[in-house]
């Protein structure tokens, strides 16, 4: 595959961008990010002034290595035992011949560096270039790659233009100056790299035409710049202010380009998103890393129903995993409705399936819908000696829900036996744990099927102790200090989904199970310990969001 502009280090002409992006990539890979988590709304750096307004993708990273984001980034990274070795490797990697990052590059950097895709890739051409079994290879894939329209913009510090030009022309295989355009100095490596240096930026493009378009956008002002697009500004404005990395994707532009370039997909046009743009960011905070994504003018397919998460009050405080969602029946019904509208034959098959289902398991669709129309959660308890995995359902009528489960307890094993899958199943038995009466199908000492109902809460799990702990919790997840701190941003929101992973509680179980044996295993364990937990949630409506926070502390 053809080498992208930002990755090449062959010539001194591109060493500034190569070193810069190597630094950012290496540190992010080490487990860190940037941003202060404030909610005043983000905006693009001056690099976006060089990006044409029609660009469908844009990403920028902070290059203010003395700023709050980089300071916090390094502070988080130092929690990991592997950080000194990674830092050493990064610094060695940032040396290229006689160019030193600290001495030659860092003083030249402005506040932001950006990468933009100026045109949606030709989907049909990409499909045509896919390898065909038995076909001989050709140079076509390389030609397709060469037609990428990529622009890199690196903001440079005030008064450093001359030093940047000196740096990129250093060495025998460096860039050669080819002229000027609108006050910018133009350079090329004589192959497929085109660069310009202005008073405030270094630009690198994949074609001379793309470089000219960038300079024209800057000259043309806000009407021709991505920075002046209301769509772009609205999307970034929905993100927290001051992130380490942020990006923008014009969803509608991608859809239109795909449909225009691939006629065979035109019949799916009504099911593909025709509106919407997405912005995303990564930000470092005092105790971890926050990621957020938002869709503005969201297509209908991205708009989800919401709920107020209440089942966290049923999950034990030390739960390893919690996944909250709601109205599974409604989601399935909506999906089926979309399919039904597409084909009368599909409608007939679905009706036949519904009839067969009733005959097979003795429960009709209305009874199943009653089980799955409220709030739901998947909970993994810490357990002893093994965790319990459980599905928690909030229902309108607990007695009817239990009657449905009792029917399923009889019919499902019988149906499995008919297919030769359950000949040796044990009998169901009643069990009582902590005053909670449940029914159990004990498949093994470590797992089985257990269900119980208390009030309007239904729990179906793998072990009686875990099911009883959920039905009768003493301390609950919503009371846990770590959960409350990590999920503080959820307060007052109706969510479309909620996820919690308690890494701190889970590591001892994995360690006891032998998951970290040997020197390499111990090293992995030591570097996982600073990662305490992960919480993520999504919201619905016309401007859905996804947010995640990874807690990182000593």
196-217 pLDDT, tens digit per residue, is 999 999 999 989 999 999 999 9
Q: Which residues contact 432 (CB under 8 A, 6 or more apart)?
A: 438
| 313 and 289 belong to one structural domain | no
Q: Which of 10-24, 89-103, 373-387 has the lowest mean pLDDT?
A: 10-24
How many domains does the structure of the chain reveal?
A: 3
Percentage of residues in the chain having pLDDT higher than 90: 55
- Residue 298: its pLDDT value, please? 73
Helix (H, G, I), strand (E, B) or coil at 431: strand
Q: Which one is predicted more confidently, 117 or 301?
A: 117
Question: Does position 270 have pLDDT exceeding 60, yes or no?
Answer: no
Percentage of residues in the chain having pLDDT higher than 70: 76
Question: Does position 142 have pLDDT exceeding 50, yes or no?
Answer: no
Whether residue 131 lies inside any domain: the answer is no
Give the model's confidence band at 492: pLDDT under 50 very low, under 70 low, under 90 confident, else very high.
confident
| 173 and 232 belong to one structural domain | yes
> Does pTM top 0.95 for this prediction?
no
- Residue 301: its pLDDT value, please? 58
Rounded CA gap, 395 and 492, in Å?
23
| 214 and 315 belong to one structural domain | no
Query: Cβ distance 178 to 187 under 8 Å?
Result: yes
| 238 and 354 belong to one structural domain | no
| 220 and 162 belong to one structural domain | yes
In tens, the pLDDT along 145-175 reads 446 789 999 999 999 999 999 998 887 668 8
- Residue 396: its pLDDT value, please? 94
- The verdict on whether omega for the bond into residue 385 sits within 30 degrees of 0, i.e. cis, is yes
Average pLDDT, the chain: 83
| 366 and 378 belong to one structural domain | no
CA 295, 296, 301: angle at the middle one, nearest 5?
60
Question: Does position 20 have pLDDT exceeding 90, yes or no?
Answer: no
Rounded CA gap, 72 and 76, in Å?
6
Whether residue 254 lies inside any domain: the answer is yes
| 178 and 307 belong to one structural domain | no
Question: Does position 12 have pLDDT exceeding 50, yes or no?
Answer: no
Unique residue bearing structure tokens 């060495």: 171
| 190 and 282 belong to one structural domain | yes
What range does the domain containing 87 cover?
Answer: 5-125+137-296
Give the model's confidence band at 37: pLDDT under 50 very low, under 70 low, under 90 confident, else very high.
very low
Can you tell me the mean pLDDT for 373-395? Answer: 93
In tens, the pLDDT along 421-445 reads 555 778 899 999 988 899 999 988 8
Query: Cβ distance 155 to 112 under 8 Å?
Result: yes
Question: Does position 129 have pLDDT exceeding 70, yes or no?
Answer: no
């Amino acid at each position: 595959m053809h080498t992208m502009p930002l990755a090449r280090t062959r010539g001194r002409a591109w060493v500034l961008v190569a070193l810069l992006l190597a630094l950012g990539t290496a540190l992010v890979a080490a487990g860190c990010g940037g941003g202060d988590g404030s909610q005043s709304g983000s905006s693009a750096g001056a690099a976006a002034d060089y990006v044409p307004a029609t660009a469908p993708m844009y990403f920028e990273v902070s290059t203010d290595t003395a700023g709050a984001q980089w300071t916090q980034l390094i502070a988080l990274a130092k929690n990991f035992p592997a950080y000194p070795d990674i830092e050493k490797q990064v610094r060695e990697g940032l040396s290229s011949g006689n160019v030193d990052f600290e001495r030659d590059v860092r003083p030249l950097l402005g506040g932001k560096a950006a990468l933009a895709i100026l045109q949606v890739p030709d989907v049909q051409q990409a499909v045509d270039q896919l390898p065909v079994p038995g076909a001989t290879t050709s140079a076509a894939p390389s030609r397709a790659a060469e037609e990428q329209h990529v622009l890199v913009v690196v903001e440079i510090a005030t008064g450093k233009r001359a030093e940047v030009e000196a740096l990129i022309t250093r060495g025998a295989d460096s860039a050669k100056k080819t002229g000027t355009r609108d006050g910018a100095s133009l350079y090329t490596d004589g192959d497929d790299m085109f660069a310009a240096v202005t008073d405030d930026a270094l630009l690198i493009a994949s074609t001379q035409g793309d470089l000219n378009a960038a300079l024209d956008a800057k000259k043309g002002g806000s009407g021709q710049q991505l920075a002046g697009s209301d769509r772009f500004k609205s999307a970034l404005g929905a993100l927290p202010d001051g992130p380490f990395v942020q990006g923008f994707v014009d969803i509608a532009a991608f859809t239109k380009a795909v449909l225009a370039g691939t006629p065979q997909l035109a019949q799916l046009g009504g099911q593909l998103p025709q509106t919407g743009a997405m912005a995303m960011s990564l930000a470092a905070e005092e105790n971890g890393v926050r990621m957020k994504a938002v869709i503005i003018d969201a297509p209908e397919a991205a708009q989800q129903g919401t709920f107020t998460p209440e089942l966290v009050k049923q999950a034990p405080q030390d739960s390893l995993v919690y996944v909250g969602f709601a109205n599974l029946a409604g989601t399935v019904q909506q999906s089926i409705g979309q399919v039904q509208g597409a084909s009368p034959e599909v409608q007939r098959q679905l009706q036949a399936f519904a009839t067969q289902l009733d005959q097979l398991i003795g429960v009709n669709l209305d009874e199943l819908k009653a089980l799955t129309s409220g709030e739901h959660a998947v909970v993994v308890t810490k357990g002893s000696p093994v965790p319990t995995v459980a599905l928690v359902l909030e229902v309108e009528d607990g007695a009817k829900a239990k009657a449905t489960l009792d029917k399923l307890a009889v019919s499902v094993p019988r149906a499995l036996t008919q297919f030769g899958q359950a000949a040796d199943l044990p009998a169901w038995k009643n069990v009582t744990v902590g005053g909670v009466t449940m029914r159990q199908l004990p498949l093994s000492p470590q797992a089985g099927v257990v269900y119980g109902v208390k009030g309007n809460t239904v729990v179906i799990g793998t072990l009686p102790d875990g099911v009883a702990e959920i039905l009768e919790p003493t301390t609950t997840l919503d009371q846990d200090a770590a959960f409350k701190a990590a999920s503080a941003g959820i307060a007052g929101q109706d969510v479309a989904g909620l996820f919690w992973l308690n890494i701190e509680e889970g590591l001892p179980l994995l360690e006891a199970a032998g998951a970290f044996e040997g020197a390499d295993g111990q090293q992995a364990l030591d570097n996982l310990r600073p990662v305490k937990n992960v919480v993520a949630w999504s919201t619905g409506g016309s401007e859905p969001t996804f947010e995640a926070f990874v807690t990182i502390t000593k």
